Amino acid sequence: MRARVCGLLDNTRGALWIILGCVMFSAMTTVVKLLGGSFDSFQIAFFRALFGLFAVAPFFCRFGLA
């Protein structure tokens, strides 16, 4: 799978990252709307940031930023 992704053109990989980002933001917005009635806004913001940290942590570790 890695060789297949690395073999794509840079523009194609960029477009796939954009599509993935749009899907993830849509999913996050849907979950926040669903949980908004039962959780406090501070709790929602905390868990949103926590899961965002989990999403970017592998990139930080891979590129030596952490």
With respect to residue 44, please indicate whether it lies within any of the assigned structural domains: yes
Q: State the residue for tokens 């908004």.
A: 36
Of the pLDDT bands very low, low, confident and very high (cuts 50, 70, 90), residue 66 is low
Q: State the residue for tokens 């868990």.
A: 47
**pLDDT at position 26:** 94
With respect to residue 13, please indicate whether it lies within any of the assigned structural domains: no
With respect to residue 59, please indicate whether it lies within any of the assigned structural domains: yes
Query: What pTM does this model have?
Result: 0.65
Residues 6+ apart with CB under 8 A from 44: 32, 35, 36
Report the candidate in 11, 8, 50 with the shortest Cα–Cα distance to residue 31.
50
Q: State the residue for tokens 């960029």.
A: 14
With respect to residue 9, please indicate whether it lies within any of the assigned structural domains: no
Total structural domains within the chain: 1
Q: Kindly tell me if the per-residue pLDDT of 64 is higher than 80.
A: no
Structural domain boundaries enclosing 42 = 24-66
Instruction: Please write the tens of the pLDDT for every residue from 2-51.
Output: 778 778 888 988 999 899 999 988 998 898 888 888 989 899 889 889 98
